[in-house]
């Protein structure tokens, strides 16, 4: 704040307080009434209602004086008069920082303890999981859903099917460093008919019916173009996040239409790295939370 505005505020504030003081003194004095020798104000309402002309009661006036004293003491102690910081040195920023410091000291001990607990064990700690759930709700639910069951393009984290592996370590790596899935587009390489055939083959991989001629032609093309990433039998590859094509878990939907879409346009799923945002300790706790979701579901590791 420039010193002009600072003084502007100081002068207006002080002048207001002085004006209040004067106003109280002025109204406290009994006023000479207009002419008559009675002790009323001389105003008459409804023909015979008159009003006494008496000073305000002492206790009532004192309340006003107290507010003025309070204002003056407050303005000396706390910031309020322009650039003057108040003799206590209090500020919103320092108060906030103090609270943050206290909270840090309180939590860091807890987080330190969590950080030393292996994920499978931490996943059984109820209060750690309550913390993990809060971290998840604040940072992950926008993409993965508040129940962690995902949506199109955002993997379900509670179903036991994993793009990058469901071991405690793989989960933590996914969260710490993020992931980038790259499924190239094959529209040009396959042509319209080729897309129909390969899509039919992929569609049939988890046991669904598709036209036989298409499936056979598609299988041959799959062996040429897709095995390197999705594996001989479509089982996927967690090293590059290539999904298992034989199960019921679909990242982009399992309808013939969505499979064709994936083939024609490719897909680039991106999981943002959380190391910078959350810090290693929080990532550890939320990893245990994610781990607990599917470990509970199928009792597996």
Comparing CB distances to ligand HEC, the nearer of 24 and 242 is 242
Which of 123, 210, 285, 286 binds ligand HEC (CB under 6 A)? It is: 286
Contact pick of 262, 288, 294, 295 for ligand HEC (by CB under 6 A): 262
User: In degrees to the nearest 10, what's the CA dihedral of 109, 113, 115, 118?
Assistant: -170
Q: Which residue, 79 or 165, is less far from ligand HEC as judged by CB? A: 165
215 binds ligand HEC (CB under 6 A): no
CA distance 159 to 242: 17
Which of 176, 219, 240, 273 touches ligand HEC by CB under 6 A? 240
- For residue 84, how many C-alpha atoms fall within 13 Å in the half-sphere facing its CB? 16
1-20 residues in contact with ligand HEC (CB under 6 A) are: none
State the virtual CA torsion across 208, 209, 214, 218 in degrees, nearest 10: 20
Contact of 173 with 192, CB cutoff 8 Å = no
Task: Give the whole-angstrom CA distance, residue 34 versus residue 143.
Answer: 78
Residues 144-183 binding ligand HEC (CB under 6 A) are 144, 153-155, 157, 162-164, 171, 174-175, 179, 181-183
> CA-to-CA distance for 127 and 98, rounded, in angstroms?
26
Per CB under 6 A, residues contacting ligand HEC are 136, 139-140, 142-144, 153-155, 157, 162-164, 171, 174-175, 179, 181-184, 186, 198, 202, 222, 225-226, 228-230, 240-243, 245, 250-252, 259, 262-263, 267-272, 274, 286, 290
């Amino acid at each position: 704040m420039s010193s002009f505005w600072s003084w502007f505020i100081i002068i207006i504030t002080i002048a207001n307080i002085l004006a209040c003081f004067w106003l109280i003194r002025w109204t406290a004095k009994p006023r000479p009434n207009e002419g008559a020798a009675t002790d009323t104000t001389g105003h008459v309402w409804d023909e015979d209602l008159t009003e006494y002309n008496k000073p305000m009661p002492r206790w009532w006036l004192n309340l006003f004086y107290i507010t003025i004293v309070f204002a003056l003491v407050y303005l000396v102690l706390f910031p309020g008069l322009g650039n003057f910081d108040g003799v206590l040195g209090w500020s919103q920023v320092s108060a906030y920082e103090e609270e943050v410091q206290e909270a840090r000291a309180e939590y860091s001990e807890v987080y330190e303890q969590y950080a030393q607990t292996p994920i499978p064990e931490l996943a059984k700690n109820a209060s750690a999981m309550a913390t993990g759930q809060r971290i998840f709700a604040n940072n992950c639910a926008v993409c993965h859903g508040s129940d962690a069951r995902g949506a199109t393009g955002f993997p379900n984290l509670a179903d036991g099917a994993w793009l990058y592996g469901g071991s405690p370590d793989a989960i933590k790596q996914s969260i710490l460093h993020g992931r980038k899935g790259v499924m190239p587009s094959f529209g040009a390489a396959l042509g319209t008919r080729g897309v129909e055939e390969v899509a039919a083959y992929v569609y049939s991989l988890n046991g669904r019916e598709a036209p036989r001629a298409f499936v056979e032609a598609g299988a041959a093309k799959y062996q040429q173009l897709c095995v390197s990433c999705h594996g001989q039998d479509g089982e996927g590859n967690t090293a590059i996040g290539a999904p298992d094509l034989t199960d019921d878990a679909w990242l982009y939907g399992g309808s013939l239409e969505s499979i064709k879409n994936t083939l024609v346009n490719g897909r680039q799923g991106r999981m943002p790295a959380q190391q910078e945002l959350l810090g290693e300790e929080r990532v550890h706790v939320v990893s245990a939370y994610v781990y607990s979701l599917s470990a509970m579901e199928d009792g597996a590791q």
